[in-house]
């Protein structure tokens, strides 16, 4: 099926020097909820603005539903955007704000009224129709911005860090609400955010960007469980990155060595013995074991340096005999109370889950 958005080798260079977007190619399927994820300056917002029409690519083309829209102004594209600071028109009521886009379509007055009422009901703000933007809270303004963007039923809805200005509790609620809205409306959503939790919760697909390029694109679990570069491994979730050397390679198993510690994982890529690699282990994939368990591969003995309380888990900062420090998260459940969690200064033993170990070669350092 033809993708609804085709970004074809697009580049954007500012002032001839700053490369904001570097030869990006991406297809978005219709009805998808895709998120551009990355830190500030990675090019995600520029890319979004090129979809909206506020920026023009210096190279490449953007196609919407097969039509080339690369140089088309925003008011000719069937795309609508929810701005980061909402950009509500301060001199218009909420209802008139939402109606603005419909009035540009020269629809009949009663039809506009009906659509506005429906849109406001959808976001739960029917009673605020006659108020002014400055009378609403941040969360309410955000929903107005949403209503205003979806009332024209665009093919694609763009969201520029929609939740960044909300406080934590509201953010979580809105994440779920947006996801519901997406499945209810069936529109294609393209969202930009720097918050990886948001991306993981809401997206069908995530595109991680780094310095103007795509680092990795895939489903949330793809990115989380099978990161392709050290950058992605540590940006999406946290990852311990331990430098190792390949000790042995068989058809099914690769064994790497870090100062005598042996780590074994399934053979998912081709490496040679003696090659320098980085082993990635997520903090929550380490299990506390008793000191007298048989010493085997995937066992790490270390000293606890610090303990950080995270509410439902405890993060231990540990140090290996080699001097390498890393993190280990211990879930606090009904069975494991805080009393059982190791104290600083203690020496502990951790077992790493082999299936969760990622290997990165020199080329994968982003």
Partner 1 sequence: MASPQSVRLGRLAGDGVFVAVIAAILAYLYLPIVVLIIFSFNDSSSLTLPLSGFTWKWYDKFFANEDLITALRNSFYVAILTTALTLLIGVPAAFALDRLKFPGKTVFRRLILLPLVLPGIITGISMLNLFKFIGMGLSLQTVIIGQSTALMSIVVTQVFARLQRLNRNLEEAAADLGAKPWESFFYIILPNIRSAMIGSALLSFTLSFDEIPVTFFLTGRDNTLPMYIWSTMRRGITPEINAVGTLIVAFSLLLIALSVWLLKDDARS
Partner 2 sequence: MKRPRREDIPGLVVLSAPLLWAVAFMFIPYVIIFTYSFWLKKYPTFVPAFQFGNYAQIFADPQYYQVLFRTGKIAIFVSILSLLMAYPFAYFLVFKVRSTRLRALLYMAVIAPLWVSYLLRAYTWKTILGSEGVLNSFLVWTGILGQPTDVFLYNQFSMVVTLTYIFIPFMVMPIYTALEKIPKNLVEAAGDLGVTPWGTLWKVIWPLSLPGVIAGATFTFCLTFGDFIAPFLVGGPDGVMVANVITSQYGAALNWPLGSALAIIMLIIVLAVIELSDRAQRAGRIGLG
State the residues that interact with partner 2 by CB under 8 A. Answer: 56, 71, 73
CA separation, residue 211 to residues 57, 220, 362 (Å): 16, 21, 18
Report, in Å, the least distance between residue 110 CB and partner 1. Answer: 20
41 interacts with, out of partner 1, partner 2, none, CB within 5 to 8 A per kind: none
Three-class HEC string of 328-341: EEEECCCCCCHHHC
Q: How many CB atoms lie within 10 A of CB 143?
A: 24
Q: Phi, psi at residue 55, to the nearest 5°?
A: -130, 150
128 interacts with, out of partner 2, partner 1, none, CB within 5 to 8 A per kind: none
Coil, helix or strand at residue 134: helix
- Interaction between residue 16 and partner 1 (CB under 8 A): no
As a whole number of angstroms, the distance between CA 156 and CA 80 comes to: 7
Report, in Å, the least distance between residue 132 CB and partner 1. Answer: 9
56 interacts with, out of partner 2, partner 1, none, CB within 5 to 8 A per kind: partner 2
The nearer residue to partner 1, 74 or 354, going by C-beta atoms, is: 74
Coil, helix or strand at residue 88: coil
- Interaction between residue 93 and partner 1 (CB under 8 A): no
The nearer residue to partner 1, 157 or 209, going by C-beta atoms, is: 157
Contacting range for partner 1; rule: CB under 8 A; set: 68-76, 208-216, 233-241, 347-355? 68-76
Report, in Å, the least distance between residue 50 CB and partner 2. Answer: 13
Alpha-carbon dihedral sign for residues 331, 336, 337, 341: negative
Q: Is there a contact between 205 and 34 (Cβ–Cβ < 8 Å)?
A: yes
83 interacts with, out of partner 1, partner 2, none, CB within 5 to 8 A per kind: partner 1
- Interaction between residue 100 and partner 1 (CB under 8 A): yes
The runs of H, that is alpha helices, within 90-137 are 94-104, 109-122
Sequence-ordered list of residues with C-beta below 8 angstroms from that of 222, at least 6 positions apart, any chain = none
As a whole number of angstroms, the distance between CA 37 and CA 196 comes to: 7
101 interacts with, out of partner 1, partner 2, none, CB within 5 to 8 A per kind: partner 1
As a whole number of angstroms, the distance between CA 299 and CA 303 comes to: 13
- Interaction between residue 54 and partner 1 (CB under 8 A): yes
Q: What stretch of H or E contains 178?
A: helix 168-185
Strand partners, 33: 189
The nearer residue to partner 2, 9 or 71, going by C-beta atoms, is: 71
- Interaction between residue 175 and partner 1 (CB under 8 A): no
152 interacts with, out of partner 2, partner 1, none, CB within 5 to 8 A per kind: partner 1
- Interaction between residue 81 and partner 1 (CB under 8 A): yes
- Interaction between residue 66 and partner 1 (CB under 8 A): no
**Cα 349 → chain centroid:** 33
Length of the chain: 366
Report, in Å, the least distance between residue 300 CB and partner 1. Answer: 50
Report, in Å, the least distance between residue 171 CB and partner 2. Answer: 29
74 interacts with, out of partner 2, partner 1, none, CB within 5 to 8 A per kind: partner 1
53 interacts with, out of partner 1, partner 2, none, CB within 5 to 8 A per kind: partner 1
Cα-Cα end-to-end distance for the chain = 33
Report, in Å, the least distance between residue 88 CB and partner 2. Answer: 24
Contacting range for partner 1; rule: CB under 8 A; set: 70-78, 212-220, 329-337, 341-349? 70-78
The nearer residue to partner 1, 73 or 344, going by C-beta atoms, is: 73
Q: Is there a contact between 349 and 290 (Cβ–Cβ < 8 Å)?
A: yes
Sequence-ordered list of residues with C-beta below 8 angstroms from that of 233, at least 6 positions apart, any chain = 227, 239, 241, 280, 358, 360
Q: Given the rule CB under 8 A, which residues bind partner 1?
A: 52-54, 73-75, 79-81, 83, 85, 87-91, 100-101, 104-105, 134, 148-149, 152
């Amino acid at each position: 099926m033809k993708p609804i958005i085709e970004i074809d080798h697009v580049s954007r260079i500012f002032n001839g020097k700053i490369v904001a977007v570097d030869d990006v190619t991406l297809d978005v399927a219709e009805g998808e909820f895709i998120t551009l994820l990355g830190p500030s300056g990675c090019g995600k917002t520029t890319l979004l603005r090129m979809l909206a029409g506020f920026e023009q690519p210096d190279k490449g083309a953007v196609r919407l539903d097969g039509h080339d829209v690369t140089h088309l102004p925003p008011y000719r594209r069937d795309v609508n955007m929810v701005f980061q600071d909402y950009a509500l028109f301060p001199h218009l009521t909420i209802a008139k704000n939402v109606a603005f886009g419909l009035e540009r379509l020269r629809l009949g007055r009663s039809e506009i009224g009906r659509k506005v009422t429906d849109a406001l009901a959808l976001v739960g703000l029917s009673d605020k129709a006659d108020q002014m933007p400055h009378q609403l809270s941040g969360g309410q303004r955000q929903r107005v911005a949403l209503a205003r963007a979806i009332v024209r039923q665009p093919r694609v809805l763009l969201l520029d860090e929609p939740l960044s200005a909300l406080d934590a509790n509201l953010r979580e609620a809105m994440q779920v609400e947006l996801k519901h809205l997406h499945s209810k409306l069936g529109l294609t959503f393209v969202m930009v955010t720097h918050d990886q939790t948001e991306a993981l919760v809401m997206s069908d697909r995530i595109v991680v960007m780094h310095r103007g390029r795509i680092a990795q694109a895939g489903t949330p679990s793809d990115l989380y469980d099978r990161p392709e570069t050290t950058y992605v491994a540590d940006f999406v979730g946290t990852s311990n990155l331990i430098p190792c050397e390949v000790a042995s390679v068989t058809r099914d198993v690769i064994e790497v060595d870090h100062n005598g510690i042996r780590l074994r994982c399934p053979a998912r890529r081709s490496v040679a013995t003696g090659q320098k690699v980085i082993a990635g282990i997520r903090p929550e994939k380490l299990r506390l074991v008793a000191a007298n368990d048989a010493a085997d591969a995937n066992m790490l003995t270390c000293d606890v340096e610090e303990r950080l309380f995270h509410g439902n888990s405890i993060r231990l900062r540990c140090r290996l005999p080699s001097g390498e420090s890393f993190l280990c998260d211990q879930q606090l459940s009904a069975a494991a109370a805080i009393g059982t969690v190791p104290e600083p200064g203690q020496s502990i033993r951790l077992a790493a889950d082999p299936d969760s170990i990622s290997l990165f070669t020199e080329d994968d350092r982003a």
